[in-house]
Structure 1
Amino acid sequence: MESLVGLVVCSLLLAVQGLYSPSDDVVELNASNFNREVMQSDSLWLIEFYAPWCGHCQRLTPDWKKAATALKGVVKVGAVDADQHKSLGGQYGIRGFPTIKIFGANKNKPEDYQGGRTSQAIVEAALSGVRSLVKDRMAGKTGGSDHGWQSGGGGSGSKKDVVELTDDNFDQLVLDGEEVWLVEFFAPWCGHCKNLEPEWAAAATDIREQTKGKVRLGAVDATVHQGLSSRYGVRGFPTIKIFRKGEEPEDYSGGRSRSDIVSRALDLYSDNSPPPELLEIISEDTLKKTCEDYQLCIIAVLPHILDTGAAGRNGYLEVMMKMAEKYKKKMWGWLWTEAGAQMELESALGIGGFGYPAMAAINARKMKFALLKGSFSETGIHEFLRDLSMGRGSTATVGGGALPKIYTVQPWDGKDGELPTEDDIDLSDVELDDLERDEL
């Protein structure tokens, strides 16, 4: 039965929608307007990436609004609900809330704001940024980026991350390579291509970093390499196609902003990546690394091997692996342990009252967890994880407010368990009188 406290916490979390309204001087930013408002702007921007449930964000809100009003007409002040617009948060490597970034002259390389969280400190940092921006302009420094792979210009920034594809290297890199490719076919005289160029270049760097090079962005000058253009039926510019090894190319039909391109690339990356590894908790490092590296870590506590045997345990692990595959786009961590092996972990998560197998999902950043209340089956776990994805279900604080102590144990050898052996005692040579005297 859900506790009243859990229900109240859940209700409060769901009730918090956003921290800013249209009547505020804070500009609400999202994936649809970010490129237009920020990336194509000459203004200096201070942008807060927040989550509505974040207590620190809620405390910052009045100061952020006050700073926005004071800086109105001088510096743009914006806010992104990174919990709702995850693609933007992922694009800028947001790992905690609130995170504040300064988008100055070079919008493709925002700086982290390290100052105080009062309105006075925020305003002073903004004015300092404006002075630096004006000083650079007076010195003839634009600070912008010239991603000139099309014209061969010197440029700086991320042009190096867009691979120039030609008749000579296309098959080797794109068709025979293991990576997934997004390839732009362009013409140097094309106005739409020139507009896409900085977006494509900036996205290339983000995608290389976030997919560890598994998804690449390339560009083909179709006026020079007409054979490639003809081979893939390119009739207009820019044309973007998706290439996966061994498959027919697919037309890209998404948006042309940096965030749109990054979002599609991350989907391609997750579609073509293997499911996350299912690890047994055998040491403190196993738990700590998994739970701290991922947004959620899903932990199963399976019955003792003597209760299930190898076949039964493998059945539970198979269910978990299927669910890890189903939810691999979430990039969650997956762990398991045997009942009784990590008692402090079980106690911190309130496991034990529901029997085994049991499952919990931990958010190590918030030190919150949720318990599987349904069946340990594909259907039951799917419903549990689906509710978590949608922000539903009751949560509680991890016991002690920190990850519990983990004991180092031997990993399971994949075999059936064996009962402990007992030494046989031979009583044939012992006289009954001797036993009776010993008892006395």
Structure 2
Amino acid sequence: VRGTMRHLLVLALAAALLPVASVAAEESDVVVLTSQNFEHDTQASTGATTGDWFVKFYAPWCGHCKKLAPVWDELATELKGVVNVAKVDAEAHSSLRKRFRIRGYPTLIFFSQGKMYKYEEKRSLESLVAFAKGGYKDDTEAVDVPAPPDLIATLKGEFFGLLKTVLHYSKHPEAISQESAYFLAAGIVIGSVLASAFYLFLSLASPAPAKRVSQSKKGD
């Protein structure tokens, strides 16, 4: 296990050398959520005192997600001060993808008072606004928000999620947008720290090999 983790750690650190420009993302009212700040900001399953949240789970390579991006920006501006509009790179943050059972992209989920409602209607600004302003209560199943995973599961999921994203971009550098480049660069730094912490945990948790006691030969 240790040998495998060493190789994975080296890959994650080496990924920092990828030709990724650290370009500032365009200003937007859309909140960027990660596995580190999701529960703290949304309080989806722990109180909901920060209001309702409309979250887009996407993948950087997804064509439908790219098409929806400008509409999502407009939605965030339209609902500013009323509903929090956010997005999650579900490929990079696999713990959130697993927690909310994201099967395809984009997946749009509305969070309100400990419940979650999946949006499956037309992806127009008008329809999205209507859903967020109360339409989610009509003919949409309310599901309890699952509890967040424990720390170790999160660290493990984030490490392999980041590694998967880095490997994808190393094979398809043309798919990196300005916004993706900015967050990928930041993610690599954060991911390297997480990978180091995860490796350290495994090193401390793994029992040391037992020492063999040599037996003296008869007559010695």
Among 109, 113, 122, which residue is 2:119 paired with? Answer: 113
Unaligned ranges ≥5, structure 1: 1-13, 133-142, 145-156, 159-201, 204-257, 268-328, 331-385, 396-440
CA distance in 2, matches of 1:81, 1:113: 18
Among 35, 48, 58, which residue is 1:41 paired with? Answer: 48
Matched length:
144
Among 133, 149, 171, which residue is 1:393 paired with? Answer: 171
Q: CA deviation at 1:260?
A: 4.2
CA RMSD across the alignment: 3.8
CA distance in 2, matches of 1:16, 1:104: 37
The runs of at least 4 aligned residues of structure 1 exceeding 2 Å deviation read 14-18, 20-23, 259-267, 386-395
Task: Output aligned runs, 1:57-72, within 5 Å.
Answer: 57-72=65-80
Unaligned ranges ≥5, structure 2: 1-18, 174-220
* Residue 16 to residue 41, structure 1, CA distance change in 2 (3 Å): farther
Among 38, 57, 73, which residue is 2:81 paired with? Answer: 73
SS at 1:72's partner residue?
A: coil
TM-score norm. by structure 1 comes to: 0.28
Bigger radius of gyration among the two: 1
Give the corresponding residue for 1:90. 98
Q: CA deviation at 1:262?
A: 7.3
Q: Which has the higher helix share?
A: 2
Q: CA deviation at 1:263?
A: 2.2
Contact 2:92 2:165 in 1 (8 A): no
Contact 2:75 2:129 in 1 (8 A): yes
Task: Output aligned runs, 1:21-420, within 5 Å.
Answer: 21=25, 23-39=27-43, 40-42=47-49, 43-106=51-114, 109-129=115-135, 132=137, 202-203=146-147, 258-261=148-151, 263-264=153-154, 390-391=167-168, 392-393=170-171
Contact 1:91 1:259 in 2 (8 A): yes
Task: Tell me the amino acid that sits aligned with residue 59 of structure 1.
Answer: K
State the percentage of identical aligned residues: 33
Q: Deviations over 1:36-79 (max 9, x none)?
A: 11124331111000111111111001111101101111111110
CA distance in 2, matches of 1:262, 1:112: 28
Q: Which has the higher strand share?
A: 1
SS at 1:61's partner residue?
A: helix
CA distance in 2, matches of 1:387, 1:84: 8
Q: CA deviation at 1:29?
A: 0.5
Q: Deviations over 1:102-157 (max 9, x none)?
A: 11112xx4121112111111101111258x5xxxxxxxxxx99xxxxxxxxxxxx6
TM-score norm. by structure 2 comes to: 0.54
